[in-house]
Amino acid sequence: MQKSVIFAAEYGMTRPYREPTMKTVFITGATSGIGKACARKFAQQGWRLILNGRKPEVLQETADSLSSEYGVQVHTLLFDVRDRQAAKEAIAAIPQEWKDIDVLINNAGLALGLDKEHTGDWGDFETMIDTNVKGLLTVTMCVVPGMVERGRGHIINIGSVAGDAAYAGGSVYCATKAAVKTLSDGLRIDLADTPVRVTNLKPGLVETNFSVTRFHGDKERADNVYKGIKPLTGDDIADVAWYAASAPEHVQIAEVLILATHQASGTVVCRK
């Protein structure tokens, strides 16, 4: 007996049985921190992964590990989101069988330095703007038209509580995350006549390599950021990303602020 007939007999259904479609998530900056945690979360749910990173060895190691542990298919894209041409070429070259991207997680981003705006390092400022804003916009422009054409899709942007208000020494980083919020809101408006959803996640203190990167490898200074408080983890943010992605199709989780219990805002933290 054919599978469709068995299924119909068991469940009293008249329409033919169809194998569930394998869903695909594309994650930028997927080799560490929140990006890697999101990759692991979606792999646990059986999704196919398109993972982007800048370091070939780390990217391949991440892909091999997730594929081996969860038995999922993984496709890697090696490029820096700051390089618009490289990003466009890599995404355009995605094999046909991988092109139907269901969820895009724009995660690639960073903070550099904690200096005053008028005396800070221009290179740090430029890198943050090119990564957090222009890189996100590049990948969005490459992926979202396909979602609109297919009539389904979801963009999850990783913003920050820093986008809500500036803090001392962080004006440029805060400005880039405020831009992520505005880009998310604007895209949601632009897509309101489609089934494509847009979510902006705004984490507070998350203990990853974020602060090590911000302080240019100064681990001791980075560790001090999380002293006296139990911070969030990348897995905590991945859980929220999964919640948003798995909500019913008529539900759009537009924005979520995620803070540690003893953090009230970007600047108010109770340390013990």
Q: Please list the active-site residues.
A: 173
User: Regarding beta strands 74-78 and 48-53, do their DSSP bridges make them parallel or antiparallel, or are they unpaired?
Assistant: parallel
Six token digits for residue 18 = 């169809």
For residues 174 and 161, the answer to whether their CB atoms sit within 8 Å is: no
Say how far apart CA 78 and CA 71 lie, in whole Å: 22
User: Rg of the Cα trace of the chain?
Assistant: 20
DSSP category for residue 206: B
- Supply the DSSP string of 66-134, one letter for each residue: HHHHH---EEEEE--TT-HHHHHHHHHTS-GGG---SEEEE----------TTTS-HHHHHHHIIIIII
Q: Which residues of 140-179 are buried (b: 16+ CB within 10 A; e: fewer)?
A: bebbbeebeeeebbbbbbbbbbbbeebeeebbbbbbbbbb
Complete edge-to-edge strand list for the sheet that includes strand 103-106: 74-78, 48-53, 24-27, 103-106, 154-158, 197-203, 255-258
